[in-house]
Amino acid sequence: MIITLVFLAALLAFFLGWILSRTVNVEPWVADGGTLNDRLPEILTVPRVALAIFLAAVSSLFALSISAYHMRMEFGHDWLAVPSPALLWVNSAILVLGSLALQWSWNAARRDDPVGMRRWLYAGGGLTGAFIIGQALVWRDLNAGGYYMTSNPANAFFYFLTALHVLHLLGGLVAWVRTVHRERKGAPPEAICSAVELCTIYWHYLLVIWFILFALLLTT
Amino acid sequence: MAELGHDATSYAPPREMPEMELPHSHSWWTTYVFSQDAKTIAIQYSVTAISVGVFAMFLSILIRLQLGFPNTFSLIDPSSYLQYVTMHGMIMVVYLLTALFLGGFGNYFIPLMIGARDMAFPYLNMLSFWFYFVSVLVLMASFFVPGGPTGAGWTLYPPQLISEGTPGIHGGVILMMISLGIFIIGFTMGGLNYIVTILQYRTRGMTLMRMPLTIWGIFLATMLALLAFPALLVAALMVLLDHLAGTSFFMPAMFSMGEQLPHEGGSPLLFQHLFWFFGHPEVYIVALPAFGVVSDILATHARRNIFGYRMMVWALVAIGGLSFVVWAHHMFVSGMNPYFGFLFATTTLIIAVPTAIKVYNWVLTLWHGNIRLELPMLFAIGFIFTFINGGMTGLFLGNVTVDVPLADTYFVVGHFHMVMALAPVMTIYAAIYHWYPKITGRMLNETMGKIHFWVTFIGAYAVFLPMHYLGLAGVPRRYFAYGETSPFIGESVITLNSFITVAAVLVAAAQLLFIYNLIRSRKHGKEAGPNPWNATTLEWQTEHTPPTHGNFGKELPVVYRWPYDYSVPGAKHDFIPQNVPPEEVEMADEGAARK
């Protein structure tokens, strides 16, 4: 649970700092002629804040899974590490490219370049699909090599964590499909830019999560 | 009159609120069933939660009948008894309390109290309710699968959760886990909405420190829930894998019915850590909104500003933060390192500090107040009693040495029902009596309400107070009958159990009276008018009662003051609504001069 607690402590420290800055030097009982306003800075738009909060909840899910991983390693005495197939490195590279493609798509959207935006958006989706297929191949190879889910907790956690990550990517792909669909139906460029931006941030986030998981699987 | 201008004006300059685009409904289906209006969604949440809560109350009566009059009712056998206990607990904690406080009250009050037209994402909000609804259906379906619902206790501890001998290990457990998964996904959608709406859609002048404490409670509880529910989700997924795929996350090597099970080396303790990492914050997910609601109701009906508003906010934040570092106090008897136990006992007892601040502030709000013992006030004061009572026994159980002999006895049952069942339920009643006039435009019947309060308050004490004695006498919880141990169970225990059962039946009957009151007053209640309690918060200042689609008229209200301007010295009326500018406040002497 240490990992989860460290994550939560960081989150709480940020939240406490923010709350204190908004509440300490305030006299709530004073009525005011002007209309006070302590809304969030303009850069924090509604979708951005929503995404940030969603990512906090997802982080909690992954932090807890990683904590469970460590605790199961400690509590049981039957842990046999899974070999890390070389394909995982290839997959990681594909996921990095997917993230980069979306970043370029977002850059193009901000430059008002619909052709580039579309091209890189499709590339990002395609690369993500390739990553998911790659992960499925890894599972198949491991299974063929006798690393069944049931034979060892390390295997079970390997499948569990990678599947959890793929599930989140699939969720992201739903948003991606919606963005592509809206773009084709001719939604206004600002709306598309915002949607591409959300996808991009989510992809970068899942890339970071993937590296954390990958490092965990490699080192234990 | 309050002074104008203070350093808070150094905030960002006033900015026009962006108008929300509201999804307008065009048919009966989109108005009443797949509605995107937060108020309708709130009512859908509340009706579902209360219905399923009444069902869980009925289960508790079955439990009590068996305990009070063993072997009298053939309907209840040991398996079904355990199933009733499990379903009663799970439904009450997750599907009633969490859903009602956040889904029900959250949806109704957030937009209205902060001066917004609706939630930030109305479509997601609708989806959130339907996920919840489906999760309830899936849970209920477990009564109809072979073997029935799971009977492992609401804490769902493996290995017995999925081992032969526990009722409902086939369909029941699977449906329970799937239902929890759907609930959590649905809640995440709703929770995102609550937080984003509170952060981004407060009307002009509604600074954080001018939000009613109800909103603070819901805001912080939602944060806790978004971070804590994933623990339950991870645990539920792993249990499903252990059960269906044969992995060993939680399942140790075991023999069952003479056969070795496929599992090996799993850790039941890991499940307990995950479960309580969710389970303890869950207590505060329910309690924080209750704290907020009670604060607002006490201030309104005592006609006094809440004592120590800033302290109340910080106490909520402190309780929320601390709730993440106390989970292992549920596991003192799991064989943990004593130093570990000491650490968690310490953090647990520290929570008493912010909690005590809140209790003192509630009592000090009443002090010298112009108390009106209206129905919401009765229940709010009832909450203070039950909460103090449950909190005090929490101090006993928080200490490892006291907890060890009391673990898994009726003392624990008495404690958590006082603090986690009775206290929030008192608040729910207070809130319903308080806001029903706004939601329906009519008052609830006063006589029926008084009967409801006194029978519930005294009756619930008659149920739960003796349980502490039972626990001290060593009576274990979750037992169907005491069988051959009965020579060790004193006569007084048996008499008390019968007494508790009679009291429980009376309390349940009073709740049915309340439901009748809810339904009857909808048509036949006294007209309430827009602001029957002379309250200051924005929901009472809407153009229409009940508020229509979009909540407020053409213009969103502008807020000039905090929500606790009751009995302001010099003012003509004993309340000044939040949207009244300082220059428009009627002063008492001015009024006299005009005459």
- A46-62 residue pLDDT tens: 999 999 999 999 999 99
Q: What is the pLDDT of residue A34?
A: 62
B366 contacts: CB under 8 Å, gap ≥ 6: B298, B302, B304, B381
Asked whether the CA dihedral B412, B415, B416, B422 is positive or negative, the reply is positive
Residues of A in contact with B13 (CB under 8 A): 37
Q: Min CA distance, A132 vs chain B (Å)?
A: 21
Query: Chain A contacts of B237, Cβ < 8 Å?
Result: 160
Question: What's the maximum distance between 2 C-alpha atoms anywhere in chain B?
Answer: 94
Beta bridge partners, B409, equal B476
Parse chain B into domains and list their residue ranges: 33-211, 377-528
Chain B positions touching A170 (Cβ under 8 A) are none
Is the ipTM reported for this complex over the cut 0.85? Answer: yes
Q: How many CB atoms lie within 10 A of CB A151?
A: 17
Beta carbons of A76 and B6 less than 8 Å apart: no
Q: What percentage of chain A exceeds 90 in pLDDT?
A: 70
State chain A's maximal CA–CA distance in angstroms.
Answer: 74
Question: H helices of chain A, where?
Answer: 2-23, 46-75, 87-110, 114-144, 153-184, 189-219
Pick A39's closest partner by Cβ from B15, B231, B564.
B15
Read off the pTM: 0.94
Angular region, B369: left φ>0, alpha ψ -120 to 50, beta rest:
beta
Contact residues, chain A, for B181 at CB < 8 Å? none
Q: Which residues of B touch A25 (CB under 8 A)?
A: 7-8
Question: Which residues in chain A touch residue B121, judged by CB atoms under 8 angstroms apart?
Answer: 50
User: Residue B481: what pLDDT?
Assistant: 85
Q: In whole angstroms, what is the distance from residue B588 CA to residue B283 CA?
A: 46
What's the rounded mean pLDDT across residues A42-48?
90
Question: B570 in contact with A at a CB cutoff of 8 Å?
Answer: no
A 3-22 residues inside an 8 A Cβ radius of B: 4-5, 8, 11-12, 15-16, 19, 22
From the candidates B114, B249, B361, which should be mutated to test the interface with A, based on the most A CB atoms within 10 A?
Answer: B249
- The answer to whether B12 contacts A156, with C-beta atoms less than 8 Å apart, is no
For the cut 70, the answer to whether the pLDDT of residue A33 exceeds it is: no
Inter-chain CB pairs, A–B, below 8 Å: 192
CA distance linking residue B191 with residue B106, whole number of Å: 9
CA distance A116 to chain B (A): 30
Task: Please check whether residue A190 touches B, CB under 8 A.
Answer: no
Closest-approach residue (CA) in chain B for A56:
B227
Q: Are the Cβ atoms of B273 and A49 closer than 8 angstroms? A: no
B12–A contact, CB cutoff 8 A: yes
CB-based contacts of A9: which residues, under 8 Å, 6+ apart? none
Partner-chain contact B227 A57, CB within 8 Å: yes
Chain B environment of A78 (Cβ under 8 Å): 248, 264-265
CA distance B506 to chain A (A): 43
Cis peptide before B18 (omega within 30 of 0): no
* Three-state SS at A100: helix
| Residue type at B362 in one-letter notation | W
Instruction: Per residue of chain B (595 residues), give pLDDT as tens.
Output: 333 333 333 333 334 455 666 777 778 888 888 999 999 999 999 999 999 999 999 999 999 999 999 888 888 999 999 999 999 999 999 999 999 999 999 999 999 999 999 999 999 999 999 999 999 999 999 999 999 999 999 999 999 999 988 999 989 999 999 999 999 999 999 999 999 999 999 998 999 999 999 999 999 999 999 999 999 999 999 999 999 999 999 999 888 888 888 888 889 999 999 999 999 999 999 999 999 999 999 999 999 999 999 999 999 999 999 999 999 999 999 988 888 899 999 999 999 999 999 999 999 999 999 999 999 999 999 999 999 999 999 999 999 999 999 999 999 999 999 999 999 999 999 999 999 999 999 999 999 999 999 999 999 999 999 999 999 998 999 999 876 666 677 888 889 999 999 999 999 999 999 999 999 999 999 999 999 999 999 999 999 989 998 899 888 899 999 999 999 999 999 999 999 998 889 888 755 544 4
State the smallest CA–CA distance between residue B186 and chain A in angstroms: 13
CA distance A180 to chain B (A): 20
For A139-164, what is the mean pLDDT?
93
End-to-end CA distance of chain A: 17
Whether B344 contacts B326, CB under 8 Å: yes
- What pLDDT does residue B133 have? 98
Region A36-52: mean pLDDT is 87
- Write down the pLDDT at residue B14: 38
Task: Give dist(CA B559, CA B288) in Å, integer.
Answer: 25
Q: Which residue of A has its CA nearest to B198?
A: A39
The CA distance from B334 to B75, in Å, is 34
What pLDDT is attached to residue B209?
Answer: 92
CB spacing of B310 vs A26 below 8 angstroms:
yes
Of A25, A28, A40, the CB nearest to B309: A28
Topology classification of domain A44-219: Four Helix Bundle (Hemerythrin (Met), subunit A) (1.20.120)
Per-residue b/e over B267-296, b at no fewer than 16 CB within 10 Å? bbbbbbbbbbbbbbbbbbbbbbbbbbbbbb
pLDDT, position B339:
87
Smallest Cβ–Cβ distance between A33 and the set B234, B325, B581 belongs to B581
How many Å lie between the alpha carbon of B203 and the closest alpha carbon of chain A? 9
